[in-house]
């Protein structure tokens, strides 16, 4: 397994499937919506990840007006939080990535990596925060979901589906993240678990680190990922001056010929 050192100005993280996992609660809500709207549940579970909820609904429910689709997207995401909170209150122990018990949880290595970045940024006043979140979820839901895991405080830059006109795989979300962070996108690394997100990052001009937390490595490589790891426990960060230096224990890039 090769190890790489990568110098970046800022890490642009996807949220769900990258920093946190809402899989159990999310799947339960797709079951409810599939039943209500007679949608193909297998299609939803296989192909919806990494895209804005409103776009997933618009693609499959053309009878909804734009206003109705947006309203249903908010209701969908509110329901994820409700189910997660219900399950957390019933849990016999603290939910973890290994045993989420139906709740939204932080993923392996996330808390440690963000602490390394945050501690380094705080050590020198002139340093930028070093990371941002760029998510396909709506802002209210995403902030609640992230904070519920007690992984870290919210970053200063938090781009949600509310902040863009076009979602992933369009490059707009990650371009927006770099712009709000005050950095050149080519000096960022995007961290993603979804093929649509990998493609968004590459189209924006960033290097991309793919995580095998949701999809297999091949799908990430084929969308152009520069590095692929199991999860963020395979990544370490330190600061040198105003740069974040990442040590990445990546899979070896396969040949698909």
Taking CA atoms, 155 is separated from 32, 58, 61, 97, in Å, by 32, 30, 34, 22
CA–CA gap between residue 168 and residue 63 (Å, rounded):
23
Closest of 59, 97, 85, 49 to residue 197, by C-alpha:
49
139-148 and 66-90 helices, crossing angle to 10°? 10
The yes-or-no answer on residue 14 being catalytic is yes
> Which among 14, 193, 226, 251 is annotated as catalytic?
14
> Which among 9, 16, 193, 226 is annotated as catalytic?
16
What are the residue numbers of the active site?
Answer: 14, 16
């Amino acid at each position: 397994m090769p190890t790489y050192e990568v110098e970046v100005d800022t890490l642009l993280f996807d949220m769900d499937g990258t920093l946190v996992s809402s899989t159990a609660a999310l799947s339960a809500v797709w079951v409810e919506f599939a039943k209500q709207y007679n949608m193909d549940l297998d299609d939803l579970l296989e192909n919806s990840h990494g895209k804005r909820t409103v776009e997933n609904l618009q693609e499959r429910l053309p009878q909804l007006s734009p206003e109705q689709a947006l309203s249903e997207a908010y209701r969908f995401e509110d329901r994820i939080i409700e189910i997660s909170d219900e399950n957390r209150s019933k849990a016999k122990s603290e939910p973890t990535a290994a045993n989420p018990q139906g709740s939204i949880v932080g993923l392996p290595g996330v808390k440690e990596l963000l602490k390394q970045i945050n501690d380094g940024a705080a050590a020198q006043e002139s340093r930028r925060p070093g990371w941002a979140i760029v998510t396909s979820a709506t802002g209210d839901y995403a902030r609640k979901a992230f904070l519920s895991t007690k992984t870290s405080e919210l970053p200063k830059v938090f781009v949600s589906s509310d902040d863009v006109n076009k979602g992933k795989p369009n490059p707009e979300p990650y371009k927006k993240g770099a712009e709000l962070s005050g950095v050149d996108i080519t000096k960022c690394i995007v961290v993603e678990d979804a093929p649509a997100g990998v493609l968004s990052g590459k189209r924006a001009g960033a290097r991309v680190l793919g995580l095998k937390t949701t999809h297999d490595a091949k799908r990430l490589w084929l969308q152009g990922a520069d590095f692929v790891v199991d999860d963020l426990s395979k990544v370490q960060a330190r600061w040198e001056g105003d740069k974040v230096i990442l040590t990445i224990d990546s899979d070896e890039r396969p040949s698909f010929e």
